[in-house]
Amino acid sequence: MFLVVGLGNPGRRYAATRHNAGFMLVDRLADLSAARFGPAAGKSRVCRVERESGSLILAKPQTYMNLSGVAVRSLLVHYGVDPEELLVVYDEVQLPLGRLRVRRSGSSGGQKGMESIIRIVGTKRIPRLRIGVGGDSVDGDLTGYLLSPFSGDERLVLDSVLDRAVLAVDTILNQGYLRAMDLVNGWRPEEL
Q: Could you list the active site residues?
A: 19
Structural contact between residues 98 and 143, judged by C-beta atoms closer than 8 angstroms: no
Q: How far apart are the first and last CA of the chain?
A: 30
Q: In the chain, what are the helix, strand and coil shares in percent, each to the nearest 5? A: 45, 25, 30
Could you count the other beta carbons within 10 Å of the beta carbon of residue 50?
Answer: 10
Measure the CA–CA gap between 187 and 84, rounded to whole angstroms. 24
Distances (CA, A) of 64 to 116, 128, 157: 11, 18, 25
